[in-house]
Amino acid sequence: MVFYLFGATATFSILFHAFCKDTTTSKTDVTSWLVLLIATLIWFITLPRILQKKLQPVKTPYYQGWAKSSNF
């Protein structure tokens, strides 16, 4: 039980922080809060994916650096 609550609390805090930073989401919309609640309840699926996305290095296209250094 403690393990489940720890994972749910960690997931909720990460999602709530992102939810508060998002300026496009209505804070009074019930659907937004429902998604937050459901994602917290199934934290054993959402938390590993969130951590994978956060720890994954940002991929930049190969041509981006080349295009900036050229004289075109």
Residues 6 or more apart whose Cβ sits within 8 Å of residue 12: 36, 40, 43
Confidence at residue 54, expressed as pLDDT on a 0 to 100 scale: 85
Tell me: the pLDDT tens digits for 12-67?
A: 999 999 999 999 988 899 999 999 999 999 999 999 998 888 888 877 666 655 55
Where do the H-state alpha helices sit in 1-72? Answer: 2-21, 30-41, 43-55, 62-69
What are the sequence ranges of the domains in the chain? 2-69
Given this model, what pLDDT does residue 70 score? 54
Rg of the chain on CA atoms, in Å: 18
Q: Return the structure tokens found at 11.
A: 């997931």
Amino acid (one-letter) located at 33: W
Q: For residues 4-11, give the mean pLDDT.
A: 92
